[in-house]
Amino acid sequence: MNVLLKSTTIIDSKSDFHNQTVDILIENGVITQISKTIKNTNDVKEIDLENLHMSQGWFDSSVSFGEPGYEERETLENGLNTAAHSGFTSLAINPNTNPVIDCNSDVSFIKGKAEKHAVNLYPIGALTKESKGIDLAELFDMTSAGAIAFGDYKRPIENPNLLKIALQYASNFDGLVLSFPQENKISGKGVMNEQVTSTSLGLKGNPNMAEELQIARDLFLLEYTEGKLHIPTISTAKSVVLIREAKQKKLNVSCSVAIHNLILTDENLTTFNTNYKVLPPLRTQDDINALIEGLKDGTIDMVTSDHNPIDIEHKKIEFDFAKYGTIGLESAFGILNKHFSTKKTIEFLTKGKSRFGIHFQPIAIGNKADLSLFNPNGIQEFTKDHIKSTSKNAIFENHETKGMVYGIIANNKLILN
């Protein structure tokens, strides 16, 4: 794949060309020239788009598709295409399939399905067999097949000794263990944040304490085992404080936050729209303020769309019985760019790679092209027309976004909207 990008502004703080508007020539998937002006002497495909910007390829640390087992929600092929058109070149995919991704062959199946695609797919193996929280899965074997981390998606490890053993065992091969932060005995049957709004709506609440107790326990186990822990999708102010203190103690811990938990509050649930039913639940503005502060000071390591397609039969039902989850790949850039600077948005969308052991390079001559292409300007409303996922459970439907994604260049392939 040979392509010449004209007048593109580079947003990459690691690159010598950061904030410069240049032409870039890519030949056979490698950046061969960067200059103010490059003449198209070999008649290669030329891309000249309005206000074209580029950055290192974006990464999402928590994405769910359906295949295998739930293809009605999303196939791997359509999911990868959705990611590409949303600007993502790398995804960590959760093991919540049927069967659960909990062995070498399952990881190999997922990797094989994505082998020739522009988007890089990195499986997260289940931490326990069938994600039942009883016995450890085949962690080392899955690492050999290409798994980059281990966790039971949206399922907390209730047995503290099991998590202790997992952290100790995974440390033998530098494995990253994920532990979903929820104490089920505290959260009970809560379906939204426990606060004034839940009382007024008559819905059972899931209190902040359910998350915070679990994080406190996990951090204590981490300190004891000296393992490597990632806490996905935190949502409360106290959680930020706990993880900040743990990092000050030099514990090997990281965490993420879902984009919707940075933007929306529990007050959005007053319409009983099940697209707002997510886990962890939407919290309060005070929690949002603390999460944003945690991002700014580095306590929170990355953001995620927490993309989770749910078919209409499991979403368009009574709120108490609807499944948790929202799609988010398509809206991720536009929502973040609306609420944060473009520089911060790009930082949020690229920062998680190193924690998950994903190789990346600055935009420079001689490096492989792994690029996200976008226009940071322009206000629009996110509607169903922007959804490429098979499932349409979009929490940000009818919300205002800023900018637009043009596509990606990765794995010697060009995908444009």
Q: Are residues 78 and 170 in the same domain?
A: yes
Q: Are residues 336 and 225 in the same domain?
A: yes
Catalytic machinery residues: 306
Per DSSP, the three-state class of 190 is: coil
Per DSSP, the three-state class of 109 is: helix
Per-residue pLDDT, 41:
87
| Pairwise CA distance, residues 12 & 18, whole Å | 5
Per-residue pLDDT, 385:
94
Angle at which helix 329-339 crosses helix 342-350, to 10 degrees, equals 140
For the whole model, what pTM was predicted?
A: 0.96
Give the chain's domain count.
Answer: 2
Q: Are residues 13 and 130 in the same domain?
A: no
- Phi, psi (5° rounding) for residue 407? 150, -155
| Pairwise CA distance, residues 417 & 339, whole Å | 23
Measuring CA to CA, which residue among 96, 68, 277, 72 is closest to residue 193? 277
- Phi, psi (5° rounding) for residue 54? -145, 155
Q: Are residues 49 and 81 in the same domain?
A: no
Q: Are residues 46 and 101 in the same domain?
A: no
H helices present in 103-171, as ranges = 104-113, 139-145, 160-170
Q: Are residues 158 and 207 in the same domain?
A: yes
Q: Are residues 212 and 241 in the same domain?
A: yes
Per-residue pLDDT, 179:
98
CATH of the domain at 225: 3.20.20.140
Q: Are residues 334 and 369 in the same domain?
A: no
**b/e sequence 274-306, b meaning 16+ C-beta within 10 Å:** bbbbbbbbbbbeebbebbbebbeeebbbbbbbb
Per-residue pLDDT, 273:
97
What residues make up the domain containing 331? Answer: 57-356
Measuring CA to CA, which residue among 195, 207, 277 is closest to residue 235? 207
Q: Are residues 337 and 369 in the same domain?
A: no
pLDDT per residue, tens digit, the chain (417 aa), is 999 999 999 999 999 999 999 999 999 999 999 999 999 988 899 999 999 999 999 999 999 999 999 999 999 999 999 999 999 999 999 999 999 999 999 999 999 999 999 999 999 999 999 999 999 999 999 999 999 999 999 999 999 999 999 999 999 999 999 999 999 999 999 999 999 999 999 999 999 999 999 999 999 999 999 999 999 999 999 999 999 999 999 999 999 999 999 999 999 999 999 999 999 999 999 999 999 999 999 999 999 999 999 999 999 999 999 999 999 999 999 999 999 999 999 999 999 999 999 999 999 999 999 999 999 999 999 999 999 999 999 999 999 999 999 999 999 999 999
